[in-house]
Chains A and B, each alone.
Chain A
């Protein structure tokens, strides 16, 4: 399979998986339990499974990068939960994305590779 075809497969399958997971989350109650799925490794699971079919050696390396991204995700969720009562959800999420970027790339630059 060509790298571009693999990318298209990842994009389509990840999009469908995220849509289904988010729909499941919207039907779960209580809301704090439903929120767990917002931190689920949905894109990661699909991407890593498909990468593993063609380049299995790259999967643990992606996992190492993902540890830093997941630390950024924790920061994003903390920022969003604190800001969402004060701002609209979209604005709080935008600040959360910035928090994700700062934490993830700071760790990436600071930690030895």
Chain B
């Protein structure tokens, strides 16, 4: 099955699955999973910080957008729910990454970081719903 076909199948499934949160899963975090994610996040922050100290904030800034969450998210998702969901999760990450470009442009223009974070959230969610509605019309 091609990526487009899988995306179409996932979007058909999503019609009966509104956006929501599994509160049971949220309330029971696995310490090992949290630990893996902490190591990824802390490791990237350390790398970005050391690079900025050695080569300056411009080069350090490159590493602020290093894919820190994606590896742990995909690896744990593959282990828990199988490979079929991982590419769909990564497709969501593409929209998050596109929104991160907007975040970075705003920060570079001097906008407050928290405002840029809020705009990231709005753009990412808008891209998600835009793609969902757009592809649903094509299906």
Query: Which A residues have a C-beta under 8 Å from some C-beta of B?
Result: 3, 6-7, 10-19, 21-49, 51-52, 55, 58-74, 76-78, 80-82, 84-85, 88-90, 92-93, 96-97, 100, 104-105, 108, 113
B72 contacts A22, CB within 8 Å?
yes
Q: Select A73's contact among B52, B73, B100, B117, beta carbons within 8 Å.
A: B100
A contact residues around B120 at 8 Å (CB): 40-41
A32 contacts B92, CB within 8 Å?
yes
Q: Select A3's contact among B41, B53, B59, beta carbons within 8 Å.
A: B53
Q: Select B94's contact among A34, A58, A81, A113, beta carbons within 8 Å.
A: A81
Known: A12-B42, A35-B90, A66-B62. Is A58-B57 also a contact (CB below 8 A)? yes
A23 contacts B26, CB within 8 Å?
yes
Query: Which B residues have a C-beta under 8 Å from some C-beta of A?
Result: 3, 6, 10, 13-14, 17, 19-23, 25-26, 29, 33-35, 37-42, 44-46, 48-50, 52-53, 56-78, 80-81, 83-101, 103-110, 113-114, 116-117, 120, 124-125, 128, 132
Given contacts A61-B56, A69-B66, A90-B71, 9 further A-B contacts (CB under 8 A): A14-B42, A27-B25, A35-B92, A63-B107, A76-B67, A81-B91, A85-B84, A92-B90, A93-B67
B62 contacts A59, CB within 8 Å?
no
Separation in Å of the A4 CB from the closest CB of chain B? 9
B contact residues around A35 at 8 Å (CB): 73, 88-93, 95-96
B contact residues around A62 at 8 Å (CB): 52, 57-58, 60-61, 64, 107
A contact residues around B100 at 8 Å (CB): 39-41, 44, 66, 70, 73
Q: How far is the CA of A6 from the CA of B50 in the complex (A)?
A: 11
Give the top 8 A-B pairs by smallest Cβ distance, nearest first.
Answer: A35-B92, A39-B96, A65-B61, A18-B41, A69-B65, A15-B42, A63-B107, A63-B108
Q: Is the interface of B mostly helix, strand, loop or mixed?
A: helix
Q: How far is the CA of A35 from the CA of B23 in the complex (A)?
A: 17
A46 contacts B45, CB within 8 Å?
yes
Among A22, A51, A113, chain B packs the most CB atoms within 10 A around the CB of A22
A contact residues around B66 at 8 Å (CB): 43, 69, 73, 100
Residue in chain B with minimal CB distance to A46: B45
B73 contacts A38, CB within 8 Å?
yes
Separation in Å of the A62 CB from the closest CB of chain B? 4
